[in-house]
A = this chain, B = another copy of it.
Amino acid sequence: MSANWGTNIELSLFGESHGKAIGIVIGNLPAGIKLDMDEINRNMKRRAPGQNKMSTPRKEKDEVEIMSGILAGVTTGAPLCAMIYNSDQHSKDYSLLKECMRPGHSDYPAYIKYQGFNDVRGGGHFSGRLTAPIVFAGSVARQILKQKGIVIGAHIQSIKDIEDKRFGVNINESDLEELLQKPYPTIDDDIFSTMQSVIEEARMNQDSAGGKIECAILNVPAGLGNPFFDSIEAHLSPLLFSIPAVKSVSFGLGEDITKLYGHEANDSYYFEGDQVKTKTNNNGGITGGISNGMPIIFSVGIKPTPSISQTQQTINVKTHENTTLQITGRHDPCIVPRAIVVVESMAALGILDMIG
């Protein structure tokens, strides 16, 4: 399995759900950045499990220990390695999962690819737990971007078929700040209770629900990106698809722009004083792969958590028989709320890598 990513900023991700530790190395960090550990820990907590009954009751403190790359809290320019020790490792028997492939999970393709040598305990390296170091790295990236005025925020766009409003063309920093204060960030304050019922219903039925997250990156100046293989979309999309369970990525209106006429889809330019703006932002701040100065808006679709307690039909790869499987243990009935900060983090890493 590949660990490394990036060009101007570098990542190397390692660890397994039930191994000693998970962690990340961040290379090419600028020297002299004073890390705001409080903010980093707030972000870590936004992702951490066990905060309510909508998330898995597994308790992990997700305390980050920085092994290298800082001195007195300030980056030295050397690669920064951050580790999170796994504290809450259940010693339960995982032998069943070596044989019975969980539907919707990586179990079967991983079994084929790694010939059964992969660590299946808690999903091993495939675990969503690996997004914790990504949130750490993303939080560092955000602090560097903030110095350039770039801020990032996201909201729950939908849970199952319950939809929040979309970001408006005039989305600004205080809007994002406001979302950040909400435990379940939606634009429409009233919608989350409906979403919550959907999740609760799924949980009661030993089932799960998915949803969408919409993210905004503000204050990226016009001119970032390239056409074709080096576009903003080409940079951000692989990072976003690297988040477990993400099945769609779209920019601006995304799939909905395909239903408009050209005269509706095109975002007309106008000068507001010296500033160039567009009247709509259907293209999500990107045309020809390059930022046009408007907010960069994208959306990801997250499938329902594949871990459900209902009995499922599957195969046993040892006996070569069809069988059924009931997955016990601690599951998130809906991963969407915890994934918000992961999406923001990936966006930060992608943009920082492009800025160089």
A→B interface (CB under 8 Å): 1-7, 10-16, 19-23, 25-28, 31-32, 67-69, 71, 74-81, 83, 101, 103-110, 112-115, 117-119, 124-126, 130, 158, 160-161, 202, 205, 207-212, 221-231, 233-235, 237-239, 241-242, 244, 246-255, 257-271, 274, 276, 278-279, 282-284, 286-293, 301-308, 310, 312-315, 320-322, 356
Asked if A306 and B266 make an inter-chain contact with CB atoms under 8 angstroms apart, the answer reads yes
B residues less than 8 Å from A205 (CB atoms): 261
| Residue with the highest number of chain B CB atoms closer than 10 Å, among A6, A16, A202 | A16
The smallest beta-carbon distance between A350 and chain B, in angstroms, is: 11
**Besides the contacts A14-B67, A107-B288, A258-B304, what 12 more A-B pairs have beta carbons closer than 8 Å?**
A12-B25, A15-B67, A20-B68, A101-B269, A103-B278, A106-B288, A106-B290, A210-B257, A247-B250, A257-B304, A263-B312, A271-B320
Asked if B223 and A109 make an inter-chain contact with CB atoms under 8 angstroms apart, the answer reads yes
The 9 A-B pairs with the shortest beta carbon distances in the complex, nearest first, are A106-B288, A3-B27, A12-B12, A208-B262, A248-B250, A109-B290, A2-B230, A3-B79, A234-B238
Q: Which residue of B lies closest to A32 (CB)?
A: B117
The smallest beta-carbon distance between A293 and chain B, in angstroms, is: 8
Asked if A312 and B266 make an inter-chain contact with CB atoms under 8 angstroms apart, the answer reads yes
B residues less than 8 Å from A322 (CB atoms): 270-271
Asked if A76 and B124 make an inter-chain contact with CB atoms under 8 angstroms apart, the answer reads yes
B residues less than 8 Å from A19 (CB atoms): 67-68
Asked if A108 and B248 make an inter-chain contact with CB atoms under 8 angstroms apart, the answer reads no
Q: How far is the CA of A268 from the CA of B105 in the complex (A)?
A: 10
Asked if B211 and A258 make an inter-chain contact with CB atoms under 8 angstroms apart, the answer reads yes
Asked if B16 and A78 make an inter-chain contact with CB atoms under 8 angstroms apart, the answer reads yes
Asked if A75 and B223 make an inter-chain contact with CB atoms under 8 angstroms apart, the answer reads no
The smallest beta-carbon distance between A274 and chain B, in angstroms, is: 8
The smallest beta-carbon distance between A205 and chain B, in angstroms, is: 8
Asked if B1 and A28 make an inter-chain contact with CB atoms under 8 angstroms apart, the answer reads yes
Asked if B276 and A130 make an inter-chain contact with CB atoms under 8 angstroms apart, the answer reads no
Q: Given A109-B290, A258-B302, A288-B126, are A263 and B207 neighbors across the interface (CB < 8 Å)?
A: yes
Asked if B83 and A67 make an inter-chain contact with CB atoms under 8 angstroms apart, the answer reads yes
Q: How far is the CA of A274 from the CA of B27 in the complex (A)?
A: 32
Asked if A2 and B229 make an inter-chain contact with CB atoms under 8 angstroms apart, the answer reads yes
Q: Given A13-B79, A312-B263, A356-B356, are A4 and B27 neighbors across the interface (CB < 8 Å)?
A: yes
B residues less than 8 Å from A286 (CB atoms): 109
B residues less than 8 Å from A239 (CB atoms): 229, 234
Asked if A81 and B23 make an inter-chain contact with CB atoms under 8 angstroms apart, the answer reads yes
The smallest beta-carbon distance between A154 and chain B, in angstroms, is: 15
Q: Given A74-B117, A237-B238, A290-B109, are A257 and B125 neighbors across the interface (CB < 8 Å)?
A: no
B residues less than 8 Å from A235 (CB atoms): 238
